[in-house]
Chains A and B, each alone.
Chain A
């Protein structure tokens, strides 16, 4: 089974000294006729400068709410509370939740930019792709000539023909081209942080994987920090250096990607890994997770995963677990983190480190 001899991808120890965004006690509540719906519950998260962080969760786990919270973009009547601090490369830290509307508009796009799934609905169907770039540059008072040069460069970095794409209308491009054009648009104002919510969800797998490798190149070239939010754990595992796993509006486990793949300590993360169709696991051992995710109005007391967890005992019903540190960077919200590996064995042998990785 999984070994503890984990080798972090980088040799340096974890240094929370250079965060780009710091989230503390973030909470989002909606008042509903059925009761109070808490769709983000006390989330703490640090995003390191120039890392790729993956946030993984099923539909309705609160992951998109977390993305909106990062930009103070939670829709009414949702109420966001907590502390969100943005640290620019140079300059004073910014309290995101205390900004005026004008300051917030500047922060979005110029410092923190977002890409949503479904590029078709992000573009104006009556405007050419070029029109979108021009409009964005002008709205933020950027130099148009310089900006368009950057746009052309970005488009070719994403394997698109700048001339052809710029003069096209959104419907004239394929889904994959459209999504790549949207990514280029979102970084044309040179933001430091790019938050992507299911940026590849509607595309076929080959295009998804191709976009991932292009994103990695983009990150290196422009020193971007990326947050990649998805329900697709295996997809983001290819890209992210660190992952946070969400369940029932909380982050239940966080750590370096390799540690999570080899040695996940939360029973939910382990069950999630085992439920994923893939090409390597023996057929009979891919199993779904029993039960269903909780309703935000009625989250179970204690550990929110206890009704579905094979390890749950009285303590899990009575108390909500804190983070238990598995290694310096790897933590899980579970009382039984030491027993999880034995109780829920992985269906793929994760001790074998891939050697072949075909060229």
Chain B
């Protein structure tokens, strides 16, 4: 990875959602800051796994990367072409939006609801080919669909092609969604919690399949998951990176095994705690956060956004926003603890007023 120019390059990307207000409501509401100031480059045949809690902006960032979500600030480029300039026809468009759209595909979290229940598998998979490869004959089209079904282990393919989505298991539906994305011959696929709905015991099988196909079709993947062990499996097998998101910011990113074995940001360590191991003699321990609910993304805490829950927070974290520090090669962390000489170390620790601070989700 990381040789040559990036496939997709995001610069200072911001996605803020305005809350819908009623017709007669003229008050200004704060936008939800789903993604705030993220820089990320994704290369050819690269894998980036984005992890974080519900509402941290990982899916929104993923959708921004494949041009499905228009950023409210910053830019997203595909092979040097600004995706939204291409869409709007601004300036010299070198790569038409149509081609960009086709090169960047998605697999959704819930395979059941992303497939039309009234269509057979063959029909579902033929329609993208009909749209994008008009010159292809009906016979060739069917042949390609069958070959792809066989490729993902749905044999006999003729039998599966004739089924409706409800006649498939969860894993099989997800495979159909994967085939549908691959038929576009994409450069990059966003897999949004693609294995989370599957049984734990079936996840490795599905990830192995995606990894095989990644190699065979030279596709890049953005793999979104709340589960660090899935992210590790997928990213480490493909030599990719894991990015940790918190309240719209990318707080740590690094090569998969490096980040798992040498986590730097206190939040990454919390996620590591949250990932169950199979060691005997465990027993549930207290969560290593000062509050268990995530603050309101409409009104994120000032300074370091994690300071309201961080077990290591000091007063300086409430006032200043930490910059990005380079921890090791390709490994970056946004935390003052990376800087041995920072004022953080002489700053007093944050005292919670009382136990009441643990309650509730909002940091007021």
List residues of chain A with CB under 8 Å of any chain B CB: 9, 58-59, 156, 159-161, 164, 174-177, 203-210, 212-213, 215-216, 231-235, 237-239, 257-258, 261-262, 272-273, 275-280, 283, 286-289, 292, 348, 350, 352-354, 357-358
Cβ-defined contact, A232 with B284, below 8 A: no
User: Interface residues, chain B, CB within 8 Å of chain A?
Assistant: 53-55, 169-170, 199-205, 207-208, 226-230, 232-233, 236-237, 260, 270-289, 291-294, 358-361
Residues B226 and A289 in contact, CB atoms below 8 Å apart: no
The reply to whether B286 and A213 contact each other, CB–CB distance below 8 Å, is yes
Q: Which of B204, B205, B280, B292 contacts A257 (CB 8 A)?
A: B280
Taking CB as reference atom, which chain A residue is nearest B358? A159
A267 CB to closest chain B CB (Å) equals: 14
Q: Which of A160, A208, A213 is in CB contact (< 8 Å) with B285?
A: A213
B246 to chain A, nearest CB (A): 11
Q: Is the CB of A279 within 8 A of B53?
A: no
The CA-CA distance from A6 to B279 in the complex, in Å, is 13
A174-B286 Cα distance, complex, nearest whole Å: 21
Q: Cβ of B286: which chain A residues have Cβ within 8 Å of it?
A: 213
With A205-B227, A216-B283, A288-B201 known, 17 other A-B pairs at CB within 8 A are: A174-B55, A205-B274, A207-B54, A209-B276, A210-B274, A213-B285, A237-B282, A275-B200, A275-B205, A277-B204, A280-B277, A286-B204, A288-B208, A292-B169, A348-B277, A348-B278, A352-B279
Please, which residues of chain A bring their CB within 8 A of the CB of B237?
A: 283
| CB-defined A-B contacts under 8 Å, sample of 19 | A156-B359, A161-B360, A174-B55, A174-B293, A174-B361, A204-B54, A205-B271, A207-B54, A209-B284, A213-B284, A231-B200, A238-B276, A238-B283, A261-B280, A275-B201, A276-B229, A277-B200, A279-B277, A283-B236
By secondary structure, the A interface counts as: loop
Which of B205, B281, B283, B289 is close to A353, meaning CB atoms less than 8 Å apart? B281
Closest 4 CB pairs of A and B: A288-B205, A204-B226, A234-B276, A161-B360
B173: min CB distance to chain A, Å:
13
Chain B contact residues, majority secondary structure: loop
Q: What residues on B are CB-neighbors of A277 within 8 Å?
A: 200, 203-204, 207, 227, 229-230, 232-233
Residues of B within 8 A of A286 (CB): 204, 233
How long is the Cα–Cα vector from A304 to B341 in the complex, in angstroms?
63
**Residues A212 and B170 in contact, CB atoms below 8 Å apart:** no
- A58 and B199: CB pair below 8 A? yes
Neighbouring A residues of B277 by C-beta, 8 Å: 234, 278-280, 348
Please indicate which of the listed interface residues B233, B273, B360 has the most CB atoms of chain A within 10 Å of its own CB: B360
Given A164-B360, A204-B53, verify A354-B204 contact (CB < 8 Å): no
| Nearest Cβ on chain A to B350's Cβ, whole angstroms | 18
Shortest C-beta distance, A354 to chain B (Å), equals: 5
Instruction: Tell me which residues across on chain A come within 8 A of B279, comparing CB atoms.
Output: 261, 280, 348, 350, 352-354
Total A-B residue contacts, Cβ distance less than 8 Å? 160
A231, B274: Cβ atoms under 8 Å?
A: no
Whether A280 lies near B278 (C-beta < 8 A) is: yes
Chain A nearest CB, measured from B311 CB (Å): 10
- Residues in B with CB closer than 8 Å to A283 are 233, 236-237
Residues on B with C-beta less than 8 A from A177 are 293, 361
Out of B169, B233, B281, B289, which one reaches A354, CB within 8 Å?
B281
Given contacts A59-B170, A159-B292, A213-B285, contact A272 B201 (CB under 8 A): yes
A278 pairs with B199, CB closer than 8 A: no
Is B278 a contact partner of A232 (Cβ separation < 8 A)? Answer: no
Give CA–CA (A258, B280) in the complex, Å.
Answer: 5
A206 contacts B170, C-beta separation under 8 Å: no
- Contact, CB under 8 Å: A160 / B232: no
Name the one of B53, B280, B291 contacting A350, with C-beta atoms under 8 angstroms.
B280
B residues in contact with A289, CB < 8 Å: 201
Q: Contact check, B359 vs A279: say whether CB atoms are below 8 A apart.
A: no
> Would A278 and B273 count as touching, CB distance under 8 A?
no
- Contact assessment for A213 and B359 in the assembled complex, using a CB-CB cutoff below 8 Å: no
- Beyond A177-B361, A283-B237, is A209–B199 a contact (Cβ under 8 Å)? no
Q: Which residue of A lies closest to B229 (CB)?
A: A277
Tell me, rounded to whole Å, the shortest Cβ–Cβ distance linking B232 to chain A.
Answer: 6
Contacts of A354 in B (CB 8 A): 279, 281-282
Distance A205 CA – B51 CA, assembled complex (angstroms):
10
Residues from chain A with Cβ under 8 Å of B169 in the complex: 292
Contact B280 A206 (CB under 8 A): no
Q: How far is the CA of A65 from the CA of B65 in the complex (A)?
A: 43
Residues on B with beta carbons closer than 8 Å to the beta carbon of A213: 284-287
Task: Decide: A238 and B282 in contact? CB cutoff 8 A.
Answer: yes
Complex formed: what's the CA distance from A175 to B53 in Å? 11
Please tell me which one of the listed residues A9, A160, A204, A206 contacts residue B359 in the complex, with CB atoms under 8 A apart.
A160
Q: How far is the CA of A233 from the CA of B360 in the complex (A)?
A: 29
Q: Are A216 and B284 closer than 8 Å at their CB atoms?
A: yes
CB distance from B282 to the nearest CB of A (A): 5
CB <8 Å contact, B284 and A238 = yes
Residues of A within 8 A of B203 (CB): 277
The interface centre, meaning the residue of A159, A175, A258, A273 with most chain B CB atoms within 10 A of its CB, is: A159
Task: Give Cα distance in the complex from A9 to B359, angstroms.
Answer: 32
Complex CA gap A348/B208 in Å reads 20
A287 and B204 in contact, given A205-B275, A210-B287, A278-B275 (Cβ under 8 angstroms): yes
